[in-house]
Amino acid sequence: MATTPAPQAATRVASGGRLVFGRPEKAKGGRVLVRSCDNAGGGGNGRRVTVEAVNGAVKLNGAAAVADARQVPAPPPQSSVDGGGGGGDAFRLGKFVEGRLVYRQQFVIRSYEIGPDRTATMETIMNLLQETALNHVMCSGLAGDGFGATRQMSLRKLIWVVTRINIQVDKYSRWGDVVEIDTWVASSGKNGMRRDWIIRDRNTKNMIARATSNWVMMNRETRRLSKIPEEVRQEVLPFYLDRSIIAADAGGRKIEKLTDSMAEHIRSGLAPRWSDMDVNQHVNNVKYIGWILESVPLDVLEDYHLTSITLDYRRECRQSQLLESLSSMTTTSLPASAETPLPATSRCSADLHSTHLIRQQDDGAEIVRARAEWRCKEHRRAMKQP
């Protein structure tokens, strides 16, 4: 007959913040006693510490430490890296540079942020860009109660919505790499804002990606676009930096509409999930990347890196809507410039260009148009050479 292991009890040493475990013992009066010790290992100071927990009362080296293990005080808040503020800001690990005009943050590429080739995905990059932008607003002191909205925007029930984003990737980071992201904002016309980003490898300081985006305001209740109120303009004006990381003509070209007759691949029945929604009550702009890739041929995903993508957001998407993803792939023979449909046998023989559309399945209303560029992965190109 199997025996059940004796339960383990734990308490926290208030001075060191370590969890120590011991086997319960019987004490006088039917009390439960747990003893554990040793704070010499794991970088401790070499002193031996004995902790006793008797029915929740904690004694440190025989003296009462706290009345109850659950009442061990939390450590005081730490200031953020390089003076970015205290409290929750300490965990954002960001800082302002260039006179508070540029916000900089570092990220480690996690195991759940890489794809089958062990490099970060385009969705990962977009998520990191979005996180840096939101933390920029939070740490600037402008944040209201919205998703990146300022105080004056929140008073007027306004939110930011992205109309276009262009991302260019020179190199994809790998699992465990640390990237450094800079972001800043500037005006875009009379009633828009532009936000740019640079991504660098922290070790080499080489720029590995760049992005630019355009944003406008929308009333979160009426869902109608709005002009920028003067009060909001005065809030954000001190943070404007007139610097472009991508030339306007590089990402600003019109994306042609993709029709059924032009599309070579169509994927229907794509359903937004609850987790695809953000706090602005619509599908988050990053989620469209995954749906775009649903209609890209598997051979392309295996053999090519997505080196550039421009997304043109045309309307909101809610959870109740079924979607379709359309794609058209063309190849540019090197060094010729004429684009032709991608033959099945020309894998990695040339760089690729693609056009995409995400639309509502029931009425065909356009949600996102996209244009992308693809470069053959180096090991795949080597395999194709004679």
Cβ atoms of residues 115 and 125 within 8 Å? no
Q: Please report where in the chains the tokens 């927990």 appear, as a residue.
A: 53
**Token output for 49:** 């510490």
The amino acid at 295: S
The amino acid at 123: E
Cβ atoms of residues 377 and 303 within 8 Å? yes
Q: Please report where in the chains the tokens 């937004």 appear, as a residue.
A: 272
Please report, for residues 83, 189, 311, the alpha-carbon distance to residue 214 in angstroms, rounded to integers and kept in the order given.
30, 10, 11
The catalytically annotated residue of 39, 166, 214, 280 is: 280
**306/171 Cα distance (integer angstroms):** 10
**CA-based R_g, the chain, Å:** 27
Exposure on the CB side of residue 307, measured as CA atoms within 13 A: 13
Which residues face 371 on adjacent strands? 310, 355
Q: Is 356 a catalytic residue?
A: no
Cβ atoms of residues 331 and 338 within 8 Å? no
Which H/E stretch holds residue 357?
A: strand 351-360
Q: Is 203 a catalytic residue?
A: no
**354/351 Cα distance (integer angstroms):** 10
Cβ atoms of residues 358 and 325 within 8 Å? yes
Cβ atoms of residues 161 and 215 within 8 Å? yes
Cβ atoms of residues 43 and 94 within 8 Å? no
The amino acid at 142: L
The catalytically annotated residue of 136, 282, 305, 356 is: 282
Say if strands 63-66 and 94-97 run parallel, antiparallel, or are unpaired: unpaired
Q: Is 317 a catalytic residue?
A: yes
The catalytically annotated residue of 39, 284, 317, 348 is: 317
**27/161 Cα distance (integer angstroms):** 64
Say if strands 25-26 and 32-37 run parallel, antiparallel, or are unpaired: antiparallel
Residues serving a catalytic function are 280, 282, 317
